[in-house]
């Protein structure tokens, strides 16, 4: 074993003592990561979550660029680790995990700073679940880059659509309800669903695979509202086949790009506001706020 390998192994063995990895060269960071993955017990519990957070902050684009965890349970044993890894993920697929509207992960998603594409399809969500997802953003900020959101195969109404459109940079929304006429000033329906497939990419790929192999099969909860931080979970069953037919339609909507002046005229023809004195996002708020009164 070379001196460098010995040093890397020593640091990995005592990784919980590191305050930060920022400034470590990428090559050294990757060797430390590989050494840690070979010591799985180091990544358990709060200690493991802290170590993973150090890596994600030092190498945000390398540890976990995108993550596909569809049709599985977010395992209790690794809840904190998942949260640490997701901090800078750009694409996240949690479709078919049957989380339910009270899942503890929902109000935390707004803090994933780099998230661009998110799928929560088929997660037993209703309007209260979307409120848990979006409300933390409204009060504390977040979702600075989120552009695509898949909420298909959930029990949602127009109120949830209105909440989602409060996210400032959201451009595409996939739903199983037809809201084209109701939101025609803000959304237009595409002729086909053009959703980019999400795959797990990054240093954490093998670590995630090892966690998933701890179960004999991919499993999803039969009942909704499991708790993300370790309370007892419901019974489990095999996931619905990805090829299983569904009776619900799927619609993809894009946020319309129309001139500010045209918006002013179509929303309130008698307005005395000058077009250049009203923000484009404020006009979206004017259109959507009425749904909160329902």
**Region class of 213: left (phi > 0), else alpha (psi between -120 and 50), else beta:** alpha
Mean pLDDT of 278-289: 49
State which of 31-35, 138-142, 248-252 shows the largest mean pLDDT. Answer: 31-35
Same domain, 125 and 224: yes
pTM beyond 0.85: the answer is no
The tokens describing 111, both together, are 């803090």
Task: Please give the pLDDT value at position 29.
Answer: 95
**Residue 110: in which H helix or E strand, if any?**
none
Mean pLDDT of 58-84: 84
Task: Please give the pLDDT value at position 141.
Answer: 79
Same domain, 245 and 109: yes
CA–centroid distance for 124 within its chain = 16
Choose one of 15, 36, 59: the last residue of a domain.
Answer: 59
Range of the domain at 153: 64-257
For residue 171, count other CB atoms closer than 10 A to its CB.
Answer: 14
Task: Please give the pLDDT value at position 202.
Answer: 97
More confident residue, 245 or 248: 248
What interhelical angle do 45-58 and 26-37 show, nearest 10? 160
Q: Name the residue among 132, 47, 52, 123 with its Cα closest to residue 87.
A: 52
Which residues 6+ apart lie within 8 Å of 291 measured at CB? Answer: 158, 159, 161, 162, 163
Mean pLDDT over each residue of the chain, to the nearest integer: 79
Mean pLDDT of 147-153: 96
Choose one of 38, 59, 80: the last residue of a domain.
Answer: 59
Task: Please give the pLDDT value at position 235.
Answer: 32
How confident is the model over 82-119, as pLDDT tens digits? 889 999 999 999 999 888 999 888 998 999 989 999 99
How confident is the model over 204-247, as pLDDT tens digits? 999 998 888 875 444 444 344 444 444 333 333 334 444 444 56
Same domain, 252 and 264: no
Same domain, 191 and 205: yes
Cα 287-288-290 angle, rounded to 5 deg: 95
Same domain, 243 and 270: no
Choose one of 59, 80, 99: the last residue of a domain.
Answer: 59
Looking at residue 123, which CATH number applies to its domain?
Answer: 3.80.10
Mean pLDDT of 16-32: 93
Answer positive or negative: Cα dihedral of 25, 26, 29, 34.
negative
Same domain, 249 and 269: no
Same domain, 223 and 253: yes
Mean pLDDT lowest among 77-81, 182-186, 264-268: 264-268
Same domain, 157 and 36: no
CB 186 within 8 A of CB 162: no
Task: Please give the pLDDT value at position 160.
Answer: 95
Q: Is the pLDDT of residue 62 over 50?
A: yes
Q: State the total domains in the chain.
A: 3
Same domain, 204 and 278: no
C-alpha distances out from residue 151 to 72, 74, 172, 289, Å: 17, 18, 11, 20
Separation CA 286–CA 166 (nearest Å) = 11
Same domain, 72 and 15: no
Task: Please give the pLDDT value at position 247.
Answer: 63
CB 47 within 8 A of CB 16: yes
Same domain, 149 and 289: no
Which residues 6+ apart lie within 8 Å of 275 measured at CB? Answer: 259, 260, 261, 264
Task: Please give the pLDDT value at position 280.
Answer: 47
For residue 27, count other CB atoms closer than 10 A to its CB.
Answer: 8
Same domain, 195 and 223: yes
- DSSP H helical ranges for the chain: 3-13, 26-37, 45-58, 60-63, 79-85, 127-140, 158-164, 205-212, 260-267, 280-288
Q: Name the residue among 103, 112, 250 with its Cα closest to residue 174.
A: 250
Q: Is the pLDDT of residue 24 over 60?
A: yes
Separation CA 187–CA 165 (nearest Å) = 9
Q: Name the residue among 148, 94, 80 with its Cα closest to residue 122.
A: 94
CB 196 within 8 A of CB 96: no
């Amino acid at each position: 074993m070379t001196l460098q390998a010995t040093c890397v192994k020593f640091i990995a063995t005592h990784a919980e003592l590191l305050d930060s990895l920022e400034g470590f060269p990428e090559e050294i960071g990757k060797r430390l990561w590989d050494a840690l993955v070979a010591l799985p017990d180091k990544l358990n519990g709060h200690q493991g979550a802290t170590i993973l957070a150090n890596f994600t902050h030092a190498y945000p684009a390398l540890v976990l660029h995108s993550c596909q965890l569809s049709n599985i349970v977010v395992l209790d044993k690794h809840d904190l680790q998942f949260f640490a890894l997701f901090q800078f993920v750009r694409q996240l697929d949690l479709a078919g995990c049957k989380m339910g509207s009270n899942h503890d992960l929902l109000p935390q998603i707004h803090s994933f700073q780099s998230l661009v594409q998110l799928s929560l399809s088929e997660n037993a969500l209703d309007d209260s679940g979307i409120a848990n997802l979006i409300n933390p953003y409204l009060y504390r900020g977040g979702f600075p880059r989120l552009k695509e959101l898949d909420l298909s195969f959930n029990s949602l109404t127009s109120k949830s659509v209105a909440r989602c459109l409060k996210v400032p940079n959201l451009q595409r929304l996939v739903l199983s309800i037809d809201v084209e006429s109701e939101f025609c000033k803000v959304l237009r329906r595409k002729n086909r669903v053009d959703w980019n497939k999400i795959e797990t990419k990054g240093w954490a790929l093998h670590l995630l695979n090892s966690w998933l192999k701890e179960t004999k099969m991919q499993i999803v909860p039969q009942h909704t509202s499991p708790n993300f931080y370790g309370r007892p979970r419901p019974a489990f069953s095999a996931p619905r086949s990805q090829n299983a037919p569904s009776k619900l339609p799927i619609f993809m909507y894009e946020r319309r790009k129309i001139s500010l002046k045209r918006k002013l005229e179509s929303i309130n023809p008698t307005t005395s506001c000058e077009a250049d004195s009203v923000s484009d996002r404020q006009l979206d708020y004017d259109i959507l706020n009425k749904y909160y009164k329902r």
